[in-house]
Structures are given as structure tokens and as C-alpha cells.
RNA sequence: UGGGGCGUCGCCAAGCGGUAAGGCACGGGUCUUUGGAACCCGCACUCGGAGGUUCGAAUCCUCCCGCCCCAGCCA
């Protein structure tokens, strides 16, 4: 169930699929696929594709295959296939028994290649990589035929068999489709479809030393699986004629329709594997699952819920224009989810001690607190109160500006669920820093009510000093300050746009005692501080909270716009 | 400059010849045991530009402008 009343907008892919079903194309069936290459971690951009493929299938009573496009060993690792499966599962999708690998089809693909050769549509080319590039021509000039283009069929068959048998070194020969060296679409200028790679494949081991290229393997794999709609990103638009060419020319089970959509770009975020790898390698982040990373592993660790990601993918829509979605929308989605489902607790991140002078020394009492004011079903809990408490340092100002409603000398505020307190004294150190506050409380306001009807302008969160549990808190912010770090043309200049405050570790924070045994991954809303989750990886027994996202902060806005003056 | 795509509010995005949905953001308000949340109101006489067709165009035609992708034995 989506977490909002929001109705997803129609999109062109839904329309195409709906029309196909109406026309009874493919017998009215829908079979999509999510085909990652296991050469890295999945990121939020992949989530869009996953949600789209599994979503469209589910929506129209079809299914979605999960296939690893593992045709380039050397870049691919078993570690990645495992992380990818875990991420898709975490996102909430179930591929049932439809887990496939392009490498499962290597034999079949080889046969297709031989069929191509026998029909005179493919040839073994012995030009070097550099020569092939030269022969390909340029964007404006046509290419020229390879001298090997008209090799006799039998020679091609023989050579290709010997390529497979391992008789040749890497780079000495390739198999090319014989299409059109003058095509304005460079992808059609006799594309390479098989190359020699004496590399151990993570699944097929050393069974093969020739591997099919994407263009050849992908469409045929789709066809073998009976895919109806092959949804991919915009950069493959130029490849569609080639995708169709193989399926037209070969004797295949079916001819899926390739549909392209715009990949996700997020402001303040880099999404390319190359740049993400650079962030990891140069040590700007702790690893692929650093909570600041846009990887699903990082986002999960940061405390995002799969529901919020799915909802986000629904809200951003699907189109063909290059766009950059504001991270603010992602943050909206996680706030909305957590606001409903995460219990609220009080935690003081930057403590200032307050002594309640007229509260009996040594006395403690348990007060009732509500876990979620908007969901009575989430119940209540007890929080201890005593003579010494901590409040947020920023909740007190000795000389408050006009619109500051919180605590100040002589002013009375409410301690949430506890009492009204009035500040009667301010203690400072030699340097003039406020180190402690003295207040008096009104016993008749127990629980936070005011029997005499008097009101206060602010309610503060707090924790009892002797009872509070110490915790480490990591405040995460955007990794990048630049509006869109993807703007640069050459290499990304991290120095220019990395946010130096993307990670702030607080070591002396205090949380309610009830959080002492909070399990890894549990999520909370810290009153007025944001949404936090217990780091799933806090292994050394320390209580560590990751800030998932901040709350909307109106006061900060007022301060920023300078309206808080006296 | 060859080919393939795309241009609707600050950011996404519906619309497909009948007179500009929705969400985020933003502004204002009500309420509030946190200045959060919730709720209410406001927010494109205009659809990259210029012509044309039509009773009528964001939707059709023409030209122009801008942006993205393609010259891996990557996917």
C-alpha cells in the first residue's frame, strides 16, 4: 500500500502496455525484466527501473524476470550478484523462480551466432581494435568495409569455432554482424558481437573464452525468455534498430518491444558508478554502504524504508526528458513514511544541564509519554523525571530575539509530558559561556497540562540527567553542496562541491533510557531533531544513531531570512 | 556539421483539437503538549520561439532556437 492518497500519474509506458493488452498483443500477456550487470552496487537510479519493471508487470497481471547481464567477465563479481539480489529483495520485490543469467544462454547464443554466419550476416574480422575504430568512420563520415568482410562462410564458421576453442589470443579476432558500414547510426556499422577474452567467468568458469556483446546477447536473451516489453534507458534508443535487426534476421521465439525511458538524476547526488567508485577509492566515504551514498545499501543503512523509495519512484513519474529530481522530494517521501510509523522519543543532542531547584533532591517519577500523537494505536511509554535534566542548548537564549519562544531568563516553558518550568538563574564559566540553568517548576502542571489555564509559547524536549543513556549520533547531510554535481563535463571535481559537513559525529548525546536496548535498524523520530535509526552495523555494542533526515525546520528558515531580529 | 531523442510553473509531471490535472518547493492561515504533524487557501490568461491551418491549438503543419545521447573488442 502506498503511504499517501496520491494517485500515480499515467505514463507512456503504462499506456503502451495497456494498449498492447487491449489489442491482445502477445496473447494479452506481460513479461518484463530487470537486467543488471553484476559489476557494482545498485543505487537509487536502479530503484526506478526495478519499480518500473516489477510494477508494470504486477499492474497488468504479468511477471518480471530477474536476469544478470553477465556477458563481460573481469568486470563482474559474485559479490555484486549477491548484493544486487539482497537489494532487490530489500526493496520489496519477489522474482519467484525467475532468476536468470545471460550466461545461462551462452551455448544458445553461440548457435545464434553460427546461424548468423551461415546466412552470410556475420564474419570474423581480424582487424585490431584501433583499425576497427578507424574503419568505423566518424559521426559525419561513413565508415569503410573491413578487408575481412567478405570472408567465405565456411572460413568464418571455422574461425569462429577456433575462437571458441581457444586457439587465438585476446584481441586477435572478433565476430561482427555484417550490416552497413555507411549507416548514419554508428551502431549499425558492422558491430562487434563476440570478442575473445581469456578470463574466468564468475559462473561459467573457464568454459568459454569468447563472450557475446550486449547488443547481441540482450535482445536474444529477452526473446529466449519470452519477454514482451524490454524497458531500458534512453541511451539505448540508438541501439533499438540493432536490437530489432537480430530478432528479425534470426529464427527466434519472439520479438520483444524495446521501450526507453529517462534515467533518474537527483540533485546533490552523483549516480554514475565511476564517480561512486571514485568516492569510495579516494576515501571521501567509508564504503559503498556509507549512509551518505545513494546506493541502496547506503540508503538502507541511513534508515530509509523500502516503502518510501517505492513511493518516491511512483511520484517522480516516467518520461523521456532528461531531468534532475530535487532530493527534497526523496526526503519528503521518507519523512512522510516515518512520521506515521516511527515512534517519537526525546533525545538531547547538544545538552545544557537544568537544575529544578524546587524539585526534591533524590526524587524520581515516571511520566506518561505518547509514542505517536497521530496514532493512538502506537501506545504510550514511561519516561523518568528528576531534579536534573538536559535540554537542547539551542532551546535557551540569554538574550532572545523577537520571535524566539523558547526558554530565556524569567520565561516559563513546558517540558513535554512533564511540567512548566521557569528559568530563574543562569550559571556561566569564566569565559562567560552558559553552563547550567536553574529553574523552578509548577507541581500543578504535572503531565504538561495547566489547570489554571495559563499558556506557554513553547514546549521543550528533555531527558533526565541521571537516567539518560549516552549515545553516539551521526548527523548526515548531502554529500554535495553544488546544486547539481552532475553538471561538470570532464572529471568531477569533488573538492569544489563536496559538503565538508556531510558527516558530523556527536559523541555526547543523551536519549531516553527506554532506547538503551533499541535493536539495529529501529527507527525513531527525535522530537524536533529529525528521524533517526540505530545503525544496523554498530557492532561494538555502542549505541549509534544515524540521522535519516531532518524535520522541516521553520525556525531555521525564520533565522535565515533575518526576520528574527529584536 | 550525420543520426537518434527531448523541450508544459523553481523541480518532477498529466494533457494527444474544445479553452492548462496532481505532487514537491514556495507564500498566507487554522489548530497544536515542541516553530513538527494535520487541515484550509494561494501559486502557469499560458505550454522553447515565430509563422500558418481552424469557430477554436500545448495538442495539427512549417521554419527557427535550445538541451541530451552515439565514433568500447562496456552495459
* Average pLDDT across chain A, whole number: 94
C1’ B39 / CA A438, Å: 39
Whether nucleic acid strand B comes within 7 Å of the CB of A339, the answer is yes
Whether nucleic acid strand B comes within 7 Å of the CB of A321, the answer is yes
pLDDT of residue A284: 93
> In 3D, which of A130, A112, A129 has the Cα closest to residue A121?
A112
Listed range (A357-371, A460-474, A549-563) with the worst mean pLDDT? A549-563
At A5, is the pLDDT very low, low, confident or very high (cuts 50, 70, 90)? very low
Bridge partners (DSSP) of residue A123 are: A176
pLDDT in tens, A205-257: 999 999 999 999 999 999 999 999 999 999 999 999 999 999 999 999 999 99
Greater confidence (A561 vs A170) lies with A170
pLDDT of residue A497: 85
Question: Is A402 considered catalytic here?
Answer: no
Tell me the ipTM for this assembly: 0.97
Greater confidence (A565 vs A37) lies with A37
Whether nucleic acid strand B comes within 7 Å of the CB of A9, the answer is yes
Whether nucleic acid strand B comes within 7 Å of the CB of A100, the answer is no
pLDDT in tens, A126-137: 999 999 999 999
pLDDT in tens, A325-346: 999 999 999 999 999 999 999 9
Distances A383 to A438, A461, A513 between C-alpha atoms, Å: 21, 12, 8
Listed range (A380-394, A490-504, A521-535) with the worst mean pLDDT? A490-504
C1’ B6 / CA A190, Å: 28
User: Is the per-residue pLDDT at A492 higher than 70?
Assistant: no
User: A190-208 as b/e, with b when 16 or more CB fall inside 10 Å?
Assistant: bbbbbbbbebebbbbeeeb
C1’ B44 / CA A426, Å: 54
pLDDT in tens, A116-175: 999 999 999 999 999 999 999 999 999 999 999 999 999 999 999 999 999 999 999 999
- For A50-172, list the strands marked E by DSSP: 63-68, 99-101, 122-125
pLDDT in tens, A47-95: 999 999 999 999 999 999 999 999 999 999 999 999 999 999 999 999 9
Q: How distant is the alpha carbon of residue A26 from its chain centre?
A: 34
User: Is the per-residue pLDDT at A1 higher than 70?
Assistant: no
Whether nucleic acid strand B comes within 7 Å of the CB of A201, the answer is no
d(CA A556, CA A73) in angstroms, rounded, equals: 51
Q: Which of residues 463-522 of A touch strand B (CB under 7 A)?
A: none
pLDDT of residue A3: 36
| Average of per-residue pLDDT across A14-34 | 96
| Average of per-residue pLDDT across A521-536 | 96
Nucleotide nearest to A173 (CA to C1'): B73
Q: Which of A263, A340, A382, A482 is catalytic?
A: A263
pLDDT of residue A541: 78
Alpha helices of A386-480 — where are they, by DSSP H?
none
d(CA A548, CA A309) in angstroms, rounded, equals: 13
Question: Is A273 considered catalytic here?
Answer: yes
Are the CB atoms for A172 and A196 separated by under 8 Å? yes
Q: Count of residues for chain A?
A: 566
Whether nucleic acid strand B comes within 7 Å of the CB of A40, the answer is no
Q: What is the pTM of this model?
A: 0.95
Are the CB atoms for A195 and A124 separated by under 8 Å? no
At A540, is the pLDDT very low, low, confident or very high (cuts 50, 70, 90)? confident
Whether nucleic acid strand B comes within 7 Å of the CB of A299, the answer is no
C1’ B60 / CA A356, Å: 77
Q: How distant is the alpha carbon of residue A531 from its chain centre?
A: 17
pLDDT of residue A25: 96
> In 3D, which of A525, A545, A518, A534 has the Cα closest to residue A335?
A525
C1’ B36 / CA A335, Å: 11
pLDDT in tens, A249-297: 999 999 999 999 999 999 999 999 889 988 999 999 999 999 999 999 9
d(CA A556, CA A212) in angstroms, rounded, equals: 56
Q: How distant is the alpha carbon of residue A21 from its chain centre?
A: 32
Torsion of CA A56, A58, A62, A66, to 10 degrees: 80
* Burial zone of A383 (CB within 10 Å; 0-12 exposed, 13-18 middle, 19+ buried): buried
> In 3D, which of A57, A43, A73, A52 has the Cα closest to residue A8?
A52
Question: Is A275 considered catalytic here?
Answer: no
Amino acid at each position: 500500500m502506498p503511504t499517501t492518497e496520491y494517485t500515480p500519474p499515467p505514463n507512456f509506458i503504462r499506456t503502451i502496455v495497456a494498449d498492447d493488452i487491449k489489442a491482445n498483443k502477445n496473447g494479452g500477456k506481460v513479461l518484463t525484466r530487470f537486467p543488471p550487470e553484476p559489476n557494482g552496487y545498485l543505487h537509487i537510479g536502479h530503484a526506478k527501473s526495478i519499480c518500473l519493471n516489477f510494477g508494470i508487470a504486477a499492474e497488468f497481471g504479468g511477471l518480471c524476470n530477474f536476469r544478470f547481464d553477465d556477458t563481460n567477465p573481469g568486470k563482474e563479481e559474485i559479490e555484486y550478484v549477491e548484493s544486487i539480489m539482497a537489494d532487490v529483495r530489500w526493496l520489496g520485490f519477489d522474482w519467484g523462480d525467475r532468476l536468470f543469467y545471460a550466461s545461462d544462454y551462452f551455448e544458445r547464443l553461440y548457435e545464434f551466432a553460427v546461424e548468423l554466419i551461415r546466412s552470410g550476416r556475420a564474419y570474423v574480422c581480424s582487424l585490431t581494435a584501433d583499425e576497427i575504430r578507424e574503419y568505423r568512420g566518424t559521426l559525419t563520415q561513413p565508415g569503410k568495409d573491413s578487408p575481412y568482410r567478405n570472408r567465405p562462410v565456411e572460413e568464418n564458421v571455422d574461425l569462429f569455432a577456433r575462437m571458441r576453442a581457444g586457439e587465438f589470443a585476446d584481441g586477435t579476432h572478433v565476430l561482427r554482424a555484417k550490416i552497413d558500414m555507411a549507416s548514419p547510426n554508428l551502431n549499425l556499422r558492422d558491430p562487434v558481437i563476440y570478442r575473445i577474452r581469456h578470463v574466468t567467468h564468475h559462473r561459467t568458469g573457464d568454459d568459454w573464452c569468447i563472450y557475446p556483446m550486449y547488443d547481441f546477447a540482450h535482445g536474444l536473451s529477452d526473446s529466449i525468455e519470452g519477454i514482451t516489453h524490454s524497458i531500458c534507458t534512453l541511451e539505448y534508443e540508438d541501439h533499438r534498430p540493432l536490437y530489432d535487426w537480430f530478432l528479425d534476421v534470426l529464427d527466434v521465439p519472439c520479438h520483444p518491444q524495446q521501450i526507453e525511458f529517462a534515467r533518474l538524476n537527483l540533485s546533490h547526488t552523483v549516480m554514475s558508478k565511476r564517480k561512486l567508485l571514485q568516492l569510495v577509492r579516494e576515501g571521501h566515504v567509508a564504503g559503498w554502504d556509507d549512509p551518505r551514498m545513494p546506493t541502496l545499501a547506503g540508503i538502507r543503512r541511513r534508515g530509509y524504508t523500502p516503502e518510501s523509495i517505492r513511493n518516491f519512484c511512483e511520484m517522480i513519474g516516467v518520461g523521456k526528458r532528461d531531468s534532475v529530481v530535487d532530493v527534497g522530494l526523496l526526503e519528503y517521501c521518507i519523512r512522510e513514511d516515518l512520521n506515521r510509523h516511527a515512534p517519537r522519543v526525546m533525545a538531547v543532542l547538544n545538552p545544557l544541564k537544568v537544575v529544578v531547584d524546587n524539585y526534591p533532591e533524590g526524587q524520581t517519577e515516571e511520566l506518561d509519554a505518547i509514542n505517536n500523537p497521530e496514532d493512538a494505536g502506537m501506545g504510550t511509554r514511561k519516561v523518568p523525571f528528576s531534579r536534573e535534566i538536559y535540554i537542547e542548548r539551542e532551546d535557551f537564549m540569554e538574550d532572545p530575539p523577537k520571535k524566539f519562544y523558547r526558554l530565556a531568563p524569567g520565561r516559563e516553558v513546558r517540558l513535554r509530558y512533564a511540567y512548566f518550568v521557569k528559568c530563574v538563574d543562569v550559571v556561566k564559566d569564566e569565559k562567560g559561556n552558559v553552563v547550567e540553568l536553574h529553574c523552578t517548576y509548577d507541581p500543578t502542571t504535572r503531565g504538561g497540562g495547566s489547570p489554571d489555564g495559563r499558556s506557554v509559547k513553547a514546549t521543550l524536549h528533555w531527558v533526565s540527567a541521571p537516567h539518560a543513556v549516552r549515545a553516539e549520533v551521526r548527523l548526515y547531510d548531502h554529500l554535495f553542496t553544488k546544486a547539481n554535481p552532475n553538471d561538470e563535463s570532464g572529471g568531477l571535481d569533488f573538492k569544489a562541491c563536496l559538503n565538508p559537513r556531510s558527516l558530523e559525529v556527536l559523541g555526547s548525546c543523551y536519549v531516553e533510557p527506554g532506547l538503551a536496548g533499541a535493536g539495529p535498524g529501529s527507527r525513531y523520530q527525535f522530537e524536533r531533531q529529525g528521524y533517526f535509526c540505530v545503525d544496523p552495523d554498530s557492532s561494538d555494542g555502542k549505541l549509534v544513531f544515524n540521522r535519516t533526515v531532518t524535520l522541516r525546520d521553520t525556525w531555521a528558515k525564520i533565522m535565515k531570512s533575518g526576520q528574527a531580529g529584536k
